[in-house]
Amino acid sequence: MTMLRPQDRAGVSPVPTMFSAPYWEGCAERELRYQVCIACGAANHTPAAVCAACDGADLQWRRSDGRGVIHSWTVVMRPVGPDFDAPYAPVIVAMSEGWFLLSAMIGCEHTELSVGVEVTVEFHPIADGRLVPYVRPVR
């Protein structure tokens, strides 16, 4: 059995864009952010300029409660490159506010993954020290 853990040697660092800078600024403060459409209330991620539900152009950043459930998952046994240690477990999380986060599971065995598992977000550094969000099962 192998406890899933953060990939602290991951060498591919996110390069923020004009749209995503507020998201990564939030992560640096251990705060998960998403966008909300002022017109229709739809939650949005990944960061965008327009609402994916109603085309509204007024999106506002909000702080997420960091809670969600596993929507889909995989366990990677053949790492993408030498700076990743297998196993690791990319997951899609359905966040409580109604948006989807691509992240990776930590803090459980790789055999414990299942759709519907409740998770909470926490932040860990990758190789360059940048904080990225991971998720851990709520016990």
Partner 1 sequence: MIRHPFHDVAIVGVHNTAQAKVLADHDSRSIALEAAHGAIGDAGLTPMDIDGVVGNLGNDFLYQHRIGPVWRSLSALGIPAVLEGAMAIACGLATTVLITTGEAGSYREHTATAPWTRPTNEFVAPYGMFTAAEFALMARRHMHLYGTTPESMAHVAAVIRNNGHANPQAVFSGRGPFTAADVLASRMIADPFHLLDCAMTSEGGAAIVLTNMERASDCAKAPVRILGGGTDHFGPAYQHPPVWEMGGRKRPDLIAGTVGRRAAENAFAMAGLGPSDVDVCEFYDPFSFEIIRQFEAFGFCGTGEGGDFVLSGVIEPGGRFPVTTDGGTMSFSHGGAAVQLFQRVIRGVQQLRGECLSMQVPDAHVALCTGGGSGALFTDVLLLGSELP
> What is the binding site for partner 1 (CB under 8 A)?
7, 10, 12-17, 20, 24, 45-46, 52-53, 71-82, 84, 88, 90-92, 100-104, 115, 126, 130, 132
| Pair of tokens at residue 47 | 């960061």
Smallest distance, partner 1 to C-beta of residue 13, A: 7
C-alpha distances in angstroms, 72 versus 13, 25, 42, 46? 24, 27, 21, 17
C-alpha distances in angstroms, 1 versus 8, 10, 112? 20, 22, 10
Smallest distance, partner 1 to C-beta of residue 45, A: 8
Q: Which is nearer to partner 1, 74 or 120 (CB)?
A: 74
* HSE value, Cβ hemisphere, 13 Å, CA-based, for 55: 0
8 Å CB contact between 32 and 21: no
| Pair of tokens at residue 97 | 């506010």
Interatomic CA distance for residues 51 and 55, integer angstroms: 5
| Pair of tokens at residue 99 | 């948006």
Smallest distance, partner 1 to C-beta of residue 138, A: 19
